Structure 1
């Protein structure tokens, strides 16, 4: 099953007869856009982004055009710049690698208090101060990517098995989406793809004659196949919003 990508354009033979007197000749087919020699994809974020990178890397590294770059670090988050400053890390990595596409997926560890070192302050999750500073950091991360010339995609948090964790993830998605889109990133929702028809956590996907597990045992992360399903959402969004990148990405197929 093809999960993402765009079909190549089909060219029709040019007409061989002359145009009638007074009529303009018909235009021939448009030349297909040339493939880029190298398409750098930079993955940024916590263990969710790390799992996505590790699952997509074996698929994409066999292709001539994509170059997949790991900028992820597990057990990190946007809230704790005293532990890992994602704003500064994003700035440095996009300057170093000059990606055409920057993919952000972070937030699984962001329900701790948000630390603002210059204010010597902490803001609890759910407070106005938390939302204000979190928005500012997401904005800066996206701006670093787009100002370097990259396109930016921000993946939303998925549904979580534990109900309280899921509710918090939905709150954080609201903050992330508003900030990321306002800063110029494409928001890719993962909630619907990880929920059943009643909106509950979906651990496995019904398939013809079987059911396939796509969430990890911890109820947060994904199996390798599950990450490929999330990768499909990413590729679909990239193809829709950045069609010039689609030929370089190619087609993502399910194993």
Structure 2
């Protein structure tokens, strides 16, 4: 796979090897574009557009159909193999090519020569982040130069900081540990009211006040990682089975 690649979020386009099908077409490249789940097409794995000349479907539904996984935590693990291909291609590039390949994605970058020539890849997020970690761990286990570290935690997000504060947690991690690559998948638990502090009133989901508070917390998290010179990959949420719930997730 030739870098650079973009990790897909809703509405973006990316390319993967069709390696999950187990067919003799595993060398063919398929282009997939995530699209909002259309209620009338719910449950249909293929969402072909007439005249497109290629198959289009939600990427998680694509992986779900090919792999036979039963839940999205497992599907997240499958997506991790796509991400692993992205990162593997990145590691194979010379430092200058790495920088050029990431210019249009982010100002953060992968340290060309880390200490002891070992990369430390950290996975942050909720239960879906667990699936990403599991997939990346298996993908990179044969490679002795990459440590995949699990920092994901179930039932967490950026809304209920009274339960778990990701920004405080990250500050503690970066104080004692070196993160070369950060992969983040979070948001499935965040469709609930938010407040900036314990003395403030709760803000309803989707309101301008809610968006402002939520975005500031995420910005702080990402900026802290980039300040430590970590390459940051934010993985978008999957297409949800429930059309009603999926509509809510589009806000994330």
Task: Tell me the TM-score normalised to structure 2 length.
Answer: 0.54
> When you count strand as a share of all residues, which structure comes out higher?
1
How far apart in 2 are the matches of 1:99 and 1:38?
11
Correspondence list, 1:62-211, <5 A? 62-172=142-252
SS at match of 1:166: helix
Contact 2:125 2:151 in 1 (8 A): yes
Q: Helix, strand or coil: the match of 1:62?
A: coil
**2:195/2:213 contact within 8 Å kept:** no
The reply on whether 1:6 has 2:86 as its aligned counterpart is: no
Aligned twin of 2:140: 60
Could you tell me whether the CA contact under 8 Å between 1:105 and 1:154 is conserved in 2? yes
**2:195 partner SS:** strand
Aligned length: 150
The 8 Å contact of residues 180 and 231 in structure 2, kept in 1 or not, is answered as: yes
- Structure 1 residue ranges without an equivalent (≥5): 10-32, 173-255
Q: Is the 8 A contact 1:160 1:166 kept in 2?
A: yes
Cα deviations by residue, 1:1-45 (Å, 9 ceiling, x for unpaired)? 375243967xxxxxxxxxxxxxxxxxxxxxxx7787110101111
Using CA pairs under 8 Å that are at least 6 residues apart, name the structure with larger relative contact order, 1 or 2: 1
Counterpart-to-counterpart distance in 2, 1:96 and 1:158: 33
Q: 1:157 & 1:34 partners in 2: Cα distance?
A: 32
**Displaced runs of 4 or more, over 6 A:** 33-36
**Structure 2 gap segments, 5+ residues each:** 1-18, 20-26, 28-81, 94-111
Please tell me the root mean square deviation across aligned C-alpha atoms, in Å.
2.4
Residue aligned with 2:223, SS:
helix
Instruction: Report the alpha carbon displacement of residue 111 of structure 1 after superposing the two structures with TM.
Output: 0.5
CA contact (8 A) 2:122 2:148 kept: yes
Does the aligned pair in 2 maintain the 1:81–1:115 contact within 8 Å?
Answer: no
Separation (CA, whole Å) in 1 of partners of 2:236 and 2:209: 21
Displacement of 1:131 after TM fit?
A: 0.1
